[in-house]
Amino acid sequence: MRRWLLLPPFLWLLLLVAAPVAILAVIAVSEGSAGVPPFRPPLSLAEGWQGTLEPLRLLLADVFYLDAFLRSLLVAFATAALCLALAYPMALGIAASPARWQMPLAALVLLPFWTGFLPRLGAWIGLLRDGGWVNRLLQGAGLTAGPLPLLYTDAAMLVGMVHAYLPFAVLPLATVLLRRDRAVEEAAADLGATPWVVFRSVTLPLSLPGALAAFLLVFIPAAGEFVIPELLGPPEAMLVGRALWVEFFQNRDWPLAAALALALLLVLILPICLFQRLEDAGEARGSGPS
């Protein structure tokens, strides 16, 4: 009976995870061509092995792709760190509110998801452009003589990334903070600890598993983000997502693009495995004796 229950999720993972990765692997070992699709699958295992060498050689030798990987990881790290810094006060506020207000507050965190992704980015473009509200407010307050170049900058890209991924950090962190033992914090306060000392020495260690899970939930998808850097970031911000799009649709070098996608997957396997271990550890603690 257990095997039959596990069969649907196994088939689902096979169809949506294993099959796409296998297709990418076949394309990565193929030879580029001018046909449709623009690659020729290998006719033999030896030919496929030889076909992997050229994309791998390009990925390792061309500094363009290395810079794209490093910049993507840096942007993902900065996005996750900013989301975590903003998520802590929001999650603490949700955890400290009365029980009847916790679900409505969590729903407010998810409120941006009720609007389409592209309209939200369009709103940021309208706010940050030269004639947008932000520049109008700054000029109206006399803080700037002219419009500041806010749009198509690294700052605008980070703002869009944090706005898009902040709920992924707030919800797991709020879940952990709701389960923490408040008596430990009250005991520390009774002994004379200031609120900052209580947070640093008690709340932060207790919520660290949730903080790590929140960080990884933001970092993993942000590393491959394409739309936000394309619409809000500077033209020179060539991240992995942009590089993939260029190779697939402009250069039509599908073998190289597939090899780049597989390389990104390999880079992200470590944080994905770490996130899974944190999930398993959290479930083990939750199912243990109280």
Q: What is the pLDDT of residues 141-182, one digit of tens each?
A: 888 888 888 899 999 999 999 999 999 999 989 988 888 878
Q: Identify whether 57 is part of a domain.
A: no
DSSP per-residue string spanning 20-80? HHHHHHHHHTSEE-SSSSSEE--SSHHHHHHHHHHHHHHHHH-HHHHHHHHHHHHHHHHHH
Query: How big is the CA angle at 77 (ends 72 and 82), to the nearest 5 degrees?
Result: 130
Query: How big is the CA angle at 135 (ends 134 and 136), to the nearest 5 degrees?
Result: 90
Same domain flag for 177 and 231: yes
Enclosing domain of residue 132: 62-285
> Please, are residues 75 and 224 in contact by the beta-carbon 8 Å criterion?
no
Give the per-residue pLDDT at 278. Answer: 66
Reference 17, options 275, 281, 269; nearest CA is: 269
What tokens were used for 253?
């070098």
Give the per-residue pLDDT at 99. Answer: 85
Give the per-residue pLDDT at 49. Answer: 56
* 74 pLDDT higher than 90: yes
* 290 pLDDT higher than 60: no
Q: Which helix (H) or strand (E) holds 177?
A: helix 154-179
3-state helix vs strand vs coil in the chain, percent to 5? 80, 0, 20
Same domain flag for 41 and 122: no
- Residue 157's CB is within 10 A of a number of other CB atoms, namely 25
pTM for the complete prediction? Answer: 0.83
* 84 pLDDT higher than 90: yes
Reference 178, options 195, 201, 203; nearest CA is: 203
Q: Identify whether 124 is part of a domain.
A: yes
User: How high is the mean pLDDT of the chain?
Assistant: 83
Between 267 and 90, the higher pLDDT residue: 90
Same domain flag for 29 and 73: no
What tokens were used for 189?
């306060």
Domain count, the chain: 2
Q: Identify whether 290 is part of a domain.
A: no
> Please, are residues 36 and 210 in contact by the beta-carbon 8 Å criterion?
no
Same domain flag for 124 and 255: yes
Give the per-residue pLDDT at 9. Answer: 80
Same domain flag for 196 and 278: yes
Domain with residue 194: its CATH number is 1.10.3720.10
* 265 pLDDT higher than 70: yes
Give the per-residue pLDDT at 289. Answer: 41
Same domain flag for 29 and 150: no
Give the per-residue pLDDT at 66. Answer: 86
Same domain flag for 9 and 146: no
pLDDT by residue (tens digit) across 37-52?
Answer: 777 777 655 555 555 5
Show which of 9, 29, 52 is a domain's final residue: 52
Same domain flag for 68 and 47: no
Give the per-residue pLDDT at 191. Answer: 82
Measured CA to CA, the distance from residue 192 to residue 15 in angstroms comes to 57
Which amino acid belongs to residue 76? Answer: A
Give the per-residue pLDDT at 125. Answer: 92
